[in-house]
Amino acid sequence: MTLRLFDSATRSVGDFAPRVPGKVGIYLCGATVQSAPHIGHMRAAVAFDVLRRWLQRGGTEVTMIRNVTDVGDTIFAKAEAAGVPWWEWALRNERLFTAGYDAVGNLPPAYEPRATGHIPEMLVLIAQLVEGGHAYERDGSVYFDVRSFPAYGSLTNQALEDLAPAEDSPEAAKRDARDFALWKAAKADDPAGATWGSPWGPGRPGWHIECSAMARRYLGESFDIHGGGLDLRFPHHENEQAQSRAAGDGFARLWMHSAWVTQGGAKMSKSLGNTLLVDAVLAEHSAAALRLALVGVHYRSMLEYGDATMDDAEATWARLSGFVTRAGESVGQPEARAVASATLPEAFVEAMDDDLAVPRALAIIHEAVTEGNAALASGDAEAAAAALLAVRAMLDVLGLDPEAEPWRSATGGAPLDALDALVRAEIDARAAARAAKDWATADAIRDRLAAAGITLEDGQEGVRWTLAGER
RNA sequence: GGUGGAGUGGCCGAGUGGCUAGGCAGCGGCCUGCAAAGCCGUCUACACGGGUUCGAAUCCCGUCUCCACCUCCA
């Protein structure tokens, strides 16, 4: 079975065939760095990180480009409100996004182009559109002529006459109210440093042109997959496609959109006052659990975030990572190379190939964990080792191998050794009390450790202890 | 008004015509001095009304409810 993906443009699932066998270019719309990232931003990033990992697992070479939009009205407005230059505000948030992406275990993209670094590429593209009769200049601004491009609206299946006017520019200046700005003439109230020269006079780029220009630069005139959040389909992606194709580029062959994080059924957004910032969530929960929560719902389904979401994810992570740790202690951890090349269970492969059906894939992982735990309990080392390898290999595809770099215990070394010595002394004292059937003393020791966040587990091979939030 | 999506057990969440999704929570059992972890078993479903079919959560018709996009959005 080959990988099948849902194409937003055709609204159907089909076999995925790269333009060049073995190589895939992905352009992912990243953040408009106007504010700190929330978990909805992370969800989109994680969804496409899983796509990338799955492609790479199949031997495909992936070039992942994730842009940063670092210029625009919302950035100007928020920077002014914060009393800092817009470029400082943008970079400050870009750093927060990068920290968030890293925290939840995303592989870094091949490149992260910034809009402000690609004005020349945009000007070339705009000039092409003007020359080709798809764009026109008015008062120092340049607009895309939607009526010049019959396929306009095809990505989102909308008829031109049903669309509302584009409000990113004055209606009176345009041939059609739905024409949108490629280049915005400088205005008196534009912030300092937000103006660039152009053949049409000083100004700054419109919102959509950057992605067309940067995708072309890094992935070529035609590339495999364009991704982003569902809310970018219109107008952003519709306009990107119109610009690029009107300029002669093949542009994206497949469009993928990830769905929201919702609360009470409604899209998470600032206007509703229910934004969940990444920092706030990570202050109370582990990053691995957050990734698990984000990845555990199919990427095209709404992810309902409630009170129990993170608690469930923590419990699930404890089950998965706990098995990996205990199995490793019992039969030894396989090497990373073995994990990367392990044969994956057929049902897991089928689920992932079916438009990245991660929830089904997770069910397969849970079944393997159950088998592995049973093998550990019965002392079947061979079966336990096989389950351990399979579980780690499957989790690795989701970016959740507990032994992989992002999730390995941050604590270690001397402090952990010192703590271990102290805890071992308590464990020994408890063992002595238990030997004397002094249950009150034994339980008091266990309770004292529990109060300090240390859990004891009496196993066949001795007493294990774990720190809260660790394994 | 246009376009698109959704309604599954206490909760989250898979599933496109017959075969146990899975997890969390609950209940019973095994293990344990008691726990914890783990294992085994088990309860609670397909928004509503019709229809097609031997058989429908799944297909068709209708109804209700909810959500998103329609130029800030992931």
Tens of each residue's pLDDT in chain A, 471 residues = 589 999 999 988 999 999 999 999 999 999 999 999 999 999 999 999 999 999 999 999 999 999 999 999 999 999 999 999 999 999 999 999 999 999 999 999 999 999 999 999 999 999 999 999 999 999 999 999 999 999 999 999 998 888 877 767 777 778 998 999 999 999 999 999 999 999 999 999 999 999 999 999 999 999 999 999 999 999 999 999 999 999 999 999 999 999 999 987 888 876 555 678 999 999 999 999 999 999 999 999 999 998 889 999 999 999 999 999 999 999 999 999 999 999 999 999 999 999 999 999 999 999 999 999 999 999 999 999 999 999 999 999 999 999 998 998 655 678 888 999 999 999 999 999 999 999 999 999 999 999 898 999 998 778 999 887 665
CA–C1' A449–B31 (A) = 23
ipTM over 0.90: yes
Tell me what pLDDT residue A469 has. 64
Sorted by where each begins, the domain ranges of chain A are: 4-258, 278-407, 413-467
CA–C1' A73–B72 (A) = 8
pLDDT tens readout for residues A45-56? 999 999 999 999
The single-letter code of the amino acid at A146 is V
Measuring alpha carbon to C1', the residue closest to nucleotide B40 is: A374
Provide the residue count of chain A: 471
Nucleotides of B under 7 A from a protein CB: 1-6, 11-15, 21-25, 32-40, 66-74
Judged on CB neighbours under 10 Å (0-12, 13-18, 19+), A146 is: buried
CA–C1' A370–B29 (A) = 18
Nearest nucleotide to A309 (CA to C1') is B12
Nearest nucleotide to A351 (CA to C1') is B14
| Residues in Cβ contact with A444 at an 8 Å cutoff, skipping those fewer than 6 apart | none
Nearest nucleotide to A74 (CA to C1') is B72
Judged on CB neighbours under 10 Å (0-12, 13-18, 19+), A437 is: exposed
- DSSP symbols for A6-31: EETTTTEEEE---SBTTEEEEEE---
Q: Are β-strands A135-138 and A4-7 bridged in parallel, bridged antiparallel, or unpaired?
A: unpaired
pLDDT tens readout for residues A184-213? 999 999 999 999 999 999 999 999 999 999
Two tokens at A235?
């107008």
Nearest CA to A30 among A180, A156, A210, A184? A210
Measuring alpha carbon to C1', the residue closest to nucleotide B38 is: A373
Tell me what pLDDT residue A161 has. 85
CA–C1' A462–B34 (A) = 17
Superfamily of structural domain A4-258: HUPs (3.40.50.620)
Nearest nucleotide to A318 (CA to C1') is B37
Judged on CB neighbours under 10 Å (0-12, 13-18, 19+), A468 is: exposed
Decide if A26 contacts A64 (C-beta within 8 A). Answer: yes
Distance CA A406, CA A288 (A): 8
CA–C1' A313–B22 (A) = 13
Decide if A29 contacts A241 (C-beta within 8 A). Answer: no
CA–C1' A163–B52 (A) = 39
